Structure 1
Amino acid sequence: MPDSPAQRRVEEILAELTGSGVEAGVQVAAWCDGELVVDAWAGTADVAEERPMGPETLVPAWSTGKGVAAALVAVLVDQGVLAYDAPVARYWPRFAAEGKERVTLGHVLAHSAGLPQLPADVTPERLLDLPAMADWIAGQQPQWEPGSAFGYHAWTYGVLLAEILRRATGRTCDQLLRDELAGPLGIGDELLFHVPEHLTSRVATCYDGGWAARLERMPPGAPFFRCVPHGVLPVAELGNRDDFRRIALPANGIMTARGAARLYAALACGGELEGVRLLSAATLKEATTGWVSGVDRMMGTTCTMGGGFVIGDSGEKSVRPAGGFGHSGSGGSTAFADPAHRFSFALVKNRMTVPGLDARLTSEIRTALGIASG
């Protein structure tokens, strides 16, 4: 465990928040210039079981996993297995139906494919039947000309990538994650798209801390509910379902802060960490350059998207600096890289709240390390 002012300050904050009941369980990790500088945890993983949060507790981090999926795709692009400009139909011929023959892998990653929608009456069971869900999406028309606009593909991002990866490689997304990304970094059991049977006892229970109410307060006709219908809202009840945890869906991730920060440390250092090179600096730069920018048609917020990463300040209490990239998840989890300072940060927590803790923690860590905030 690091012994530094940054570590001690984060430990103080986590003790305060979990001790007061504001948070249930929290993990925080940060790297700077190839060294682990913060590795802290506090609170409880499961209240009923009186199980404490530990450094290896796996926490549902929701869409934080989209950045992990983006990194995995970048590795496969670097290997020549995939290509950002390749039509999805190259890997999945049926996908060309209904005017989608020119939709590329890059469009899917940048949320500009025009396919954010799910059936309005979708249930968790239907969403988690990935072959059937992929077939349904393959039969849909784009909501806009692919590449002309973008809107958050909250769930369809994962369904599409899972199908593309399987067809292009013959391996499932969780196998690819372990083989090509998490395994080489030594975090094969800390960075996951689903929970294998032997790791179920390590998973934290999700608790609501006002997140569900925030979603329900959105106007009934909000575009958000086209990509995230009410039956599959990312709330604690869904996150605690065994069937949800078992399905490898790369729209989500289950991880430790230590694992997520280690991945982003490699990305912050040009694609290599401790002698392990994941991908070339050139491919990494391509993946983390802004591809589309403007107002997200589903979320109504302004942001810039690269190859699956949110680039820089997303406009909603973002902790990413201008040159940073990463992804956040429902309920307050987040992970990102700041290449200008060779810095990475990850926060995962099991009480789902409105984001804000990440900004406080990154400010404290950066101050302690003498790193500028932008």
Structure 2
Amino acid sequence: MTLQHRIQDILDELVASGAETGLQVAVHHRGRRVVDAVAGVADGTTGRPVTAQTLFFSFSTAKGVAALIAHLLVKNGLVGYDTPVAQVWPEFGVHGKETATLRHVLTHTVGVPAMPGGLGPADLADWPRVCAAIAAAHPRWPPGTRTGYHSFTFGFLVGEIARRVTGQPVRRLLHDWVAAPLGIAGELYFGVPSTELARLARLEDAEPHPAGPAEHDSILAPWELQPRASMGNSPDFLQADVPSVGTFTARGIATVYAAILDGRLISADQLAELSAVAFEGTDQVFGNPARLALGYPLGRVGAPADEAPTTFGWPGGGGGYAYANPATGTSFAVTKNRLTPDFATAQRLADVVTAELDPLA
């Protein structure tokens, strides 16, 4: 049985059992797309089926694409990894953030993990207001000394740096630098055009949805910690430029990771630099041990302890996931519309892919 058939069988089983509603999986291996599978319905209220062209709002899985924009800024000589943020964004250099660099942004060590100023989801479409609040914020720790998941602030940090040095909004850079050159325009968005909203899968909350640990609430607001279908179904939010989250197809984001690996977007030397360990410590938001590359956690979600942490990528709230593995030349993505509180589906699928494509697995 081919890998395509094995993955398709798992997706069909997950939908038939009610564990999932609609899914896409795409896998590239050494220059070939070896899996492009879909199952289920994109909208449980209408029965509209998932197709390979269905767009899924996938929360923080999009952070991998935001990080890529930062790497392309470096590739193009517009900034360096150790360029102080305040050098291109002077207002940011206050309250001890003067020493913060792009490297600190990418390793979530800047010290501004929570959205400041009492801003909530409805405020995120106001780019100038959000960036002004982040610039004025007091860091929770000196930049570069600790790491903590920058849930929504990450994308605005990268996006404002990009805007300052290019004059373009990050959604435009995503189209011009990534989607269009790779032939996936229409499959990858920060801010979905109104004309494309009808292509989106409708998200649904899995029940029960557990509350986050109380100790986390003092750092991140509940809406920053726990994904909700209402956020990803809101037309206003979907159309906003909020580059810590995004909308795409599985094959779109798997193509991006494949292009990172094969040299279409960055050089082999830059790939080696961005995928190496850049910071290790205890995550100040979640309390877990964190090993970070430049813009990505290292190691596959749910992997056994003896699996080499060569993968880099991002899971997203609700159970989506996308990553690349330079050691095997593999990129993987799963998108889905049932927001589960764990990554059991992604882990199961990634385990099958790893066993098939990693000769040492």
TM-score tier (shorter): over 0.9
* Distance verdict in 2 for CA 1:116–1:337, change over 3 Å: same
1:337-360, Cα deviation, whole Å (9 max, x unpaired): 111111111011010111111121
Q: Describe how 1:1-374 pairs up with structure 2 within 5 A.
A: 5-119=2-116, 121-210=118-207, 213-214=209-210, 216=211, 218-220=212-214, 222-223=215-216, 226-230=219-223, 233-269=226-262, 272=263, 277-313=264-300, 321-353=308-340, 354-369=342-357, 371-373=359-361
Tell me how far 1:121 sits from its aligned partner.
4.5
Tell me how far 1:229 sits from its aligned partner.
3.6
Structure 2: state its 5+ residue gaps. Answer: none
Letter in 2 for 1:308: G
Tell me how far 1:366 sits from its aligned partner.
3.1
| Alpha-carbon contact 1:303-1:314 (below 8 Å) kept | no
Q: Secondary structure at the match of 2:273?
A: helix
Q: How many residues align?
A: 360
Structure 1: state its 5+ residue gaps. Answer: none
Aligned-partner Cα distance in 2 for 1:51–1:320: 39
Tell me how far 1:264 sits from its aligned partner.
1.1
Q: Secondary structure at the match of 1:213?
A: coil
Tell me how far 1:28 sits from its aligned partner.
0.3
Aligned-partner Cα distance in 2 for 1:320–1:195: 37
* Distance verdict in 2 for CA 1:231–1:83, change over 3 Å: closer
| Alpha-carbon contact 1:224-1:299 (below 8 Å) kept | no
Aligned-partner Cα distance in 2 for 1:302–1:313: 14
Aligned-partner Cα distance in 1 for 2:292–2:66: 14
Aligned-partner Cα distance in 1 for 2:279–2:21: 37
Aligned-partner Cα distance in 1 for 2:255–2:189: 14
Aligned-partner Cα distance in 1 for 2:234–2:61: 19
Give the TM-score taking structure 1 as reference length. 0.91
Tell me how far 1:119 sits from its aligned partner.
4.2
Aligned-partner Cα distance in 2 for 1:348–1:256: 7
1:20-48, Cα deviation, whole Å (9 max, x unpaired): 22111000010111101000001011112
| Alpha-carbon contact 2:152-2:224 (below 8 Å) kept | no
Aligned-partner Cα distance in 2 for 1:314–1:359: 6
Give the TM-score taking structure 2 as reference length. 0.94
Which range moves more in the overlay, 321-330 or 125-134? 125-134
Aligned-partner Cα distance in 2 for 1:362–1:20: 19
Letter in 2 for 1:236: A
| Alpha-carbon contact 1:303-1:315 (below 8 Å) kept | no
Q: Secondary structure at the match of 1:334?
A: strand
Q: Please, what is the CA RMSD of the aligned residues?
A: 2.1
Letter in 1 for 2:289: T
Which range moves more in the overlay, 97-106 or 146-155? 97-106
* Distance verdict in 2 for CA 1:321–1:231, change over 3 Å: closer
Aligned-partner Cα distance in 2 for 1:235–1:6: 32
Letter in 2 for 1:238: M
Letter in 2 for 1:128: A
Aligned-partner Cα distance in 2 for 1:143–1:320: 34
Letter in 2 for 1:258: R
| Alpha-carbon contact 1:95-1:101 (below 8 Å) kept | yes
Which range moves more in the overlay, 283-292 or 29-38? 283-292
Q: Percent identity, please.
A: 40
Which range moves more in the overlay, 364-373 or 170-179? 364-373
Aligned-partner Cα distance in 1 for 2:224–2:137: 20
| Alpha-carbon contact 1:319-1:362 (below 8 Å) kept | no
